[in-house]
Amino acid sequence: MFAMLGIVLSNNFVMLFIFWELVGFTSYVLIGHWFERDAAADAAKKAFITTRIGDFGFMLGILMVWAATGSVVFAEIAPRLSILTSHPAFLTTAALLIFCGAVGKSAQFPLHVWLPDAMEGPTPVSALIHAATMVAAGVYMLVRIGFIIQASQTALLVIAWIGTITAMLAALIATQQSDIKRILAYSTLSQLGYMVMAVGLASNEAAMFHLFTHAFFKALLFLAAGSVIVMLHHEQNIWKMGGLSRNLPITFLTFGAGALALIGCPPFSGFFSKDAILAVAYERNMPIFVVGLLTAFLTAFYVIRLFVVVFFGNARSEIARKSNESPAVMTGPLIVLALLAMLGGFAFFARNFLVLPVEKNIGLFVPALAMIVLVLGSGLAITLYRNRQSEPFDIELFRRLFYFNEFYSWLINWTQEFLARISAFCDRWIIDAGVVGGTSGGTWGIGALLRLIQGGNLQAYLFLFGLGIVALIYFAVFH
């Protein structure tokens, strides 16, 4: 929280970057909380290394802005923005390199692979990282330096499409997951895609509005999922749950509130913020609006799938049949967050914390379309998954996460590992055997030859002494 406050309060790139890295380090420690587990240790390293790739680009972008304007202070860069705008290619490159930082920290395509694995941390850590702090840092940073990004239309278009692709990709993957926390992690990826999409559409207000509401309902969903997991003795497979609405009524109602907010059902907070983003997309980029609408359909589908499988039907395991409601220390925060998830989108509440987006000339068309896809997605999920005992579909491409992990493993094997093998060969055979070994061997050989001369024979020494004198006389006389 200290590092996040530092990011929010920074008025220059240097302080922002310092606190940015501190957020990354603390998230590494939190994800690896149970470091004795190999999966948790690997997830922490994966998150740290992946975000470092994005942060390297972020640092290069900062250096480019500083080289062009001579300052890292936001208030001083803004009046000198004409220096950047006079070189469009330089400006676009700097803006996209800065965006790389958000790609890593907010887990956007193609650096999105670390976020689902971060589920190895404790559930409260998941609620902290995935709802309010680390993943929100990238979106906040883009909004904070929006005056640079919005100066380049090319950068805005790239950012908008990266967010759109991330939202769609994560929604497709979530439809085939069976781990309750992983489903919520991919929903976070998808919603972050919506926020980045809004930034790319030059609507910082819509992006921050969705970030604001998302913090409430996603923290609620993760903590409610934690309540389910604890009461089921740390079981996370949704196909070993079922019928929990009877045994965990408070968790059921609060999880339902969070789920309805996530799919954008009125009057919950997600309805207002997600519709604001769709309205901006409808006004400014129709292809992105269509993909965003399809993503809203998929969101309704996989969230209601999760809700139906976990809380309805018959219990699929003995643990689910014998489960009881969580203690008040766990359900109390759920009730508070459920109220915030319901109230967070209303203007009388939200305007006290941020500037709300203004929608123009859309009437009821966009909200009506959003409600249609919500009903279709929810209805399809209920029809397909009601009273199911196991997953009726197996789409391997989605279940295997579009093979991104396999691709990155192959890429690392043929780049980093290949270079490591070349370096090992050079070190072992050229440096050790050739340079070091050759020098030592040559020295030893010369020493062995000289040792043959030093035989301890006095006549031989006198002969060599005389031979040396003859040689000196020869060179002195004839040269």
Q: What per-residue confidence (pLDDT) applies to 360?
A: 66
Model confidence, pTM: 0.86
- Cα–Cα distances in angstroms (integers) from residue 368 to residues 69, 258, 296, 373, 382, in the given order: 47, 21, 13, 9, 21
Helices (H), 70-108: 74-77, 81-85, 88-105
CA 398, CA 401: separation in Å to the nearest integer? 5
Q: What per-residue confidence (pLDDT) applies to 359?
A: 67
DSSP string of 5-29, one letter each residue: HHHHH--BHHHHHHHHHHHHHHHHH
CA 426, CA 413: separation in Å to the nearest integer? 18
| Kind plus residue range of the DSSP H or E element containing 307 | helix 286-311
DSSP 404: H
Question: Which residue carries 């330096």 as its tokens?
Answer: 145
pLDDT tens for each residue of the chain, 479 residues long: 788 889 989 999 999 999 999 988 888 888 888 888 888 888 889 889 999 999 999 999 999 999 999 889 999 998 888 888 888 999 999 999 999 999 998 889 889 888 888 877 777 777 777 666 778 888 999 999 989 999 999 999 999 999 999 999 999 999 999 889 889 989 999 999 999 999 999 889 999 999 999 989 998 999 999 889 988 888 888 888 888 888 888 999 999 999 999 999 988 999 999 999 999 999 888 999 999 999 999 999 999 999 999 988 888 888 888 878 888 888 899 999 999 999 888 888 888 888 888 766 666 888 899 999 999 999 999 999 888 888 888 888 888 888 888 898 888 888 888 889 899 989 888 888 888 888 888 888 888 887 777 767 777 778 888 888 999 988 888 76
Between 204-231 and 134-144, two packed helices, what is the crossing angle to 10 degrees? Answer: 180
At 377, which amino acid appears? G
Q: Mapping DSSP to helix (H, G, I), strand (E, B) and coil, where does residue 50 land?
A: helix
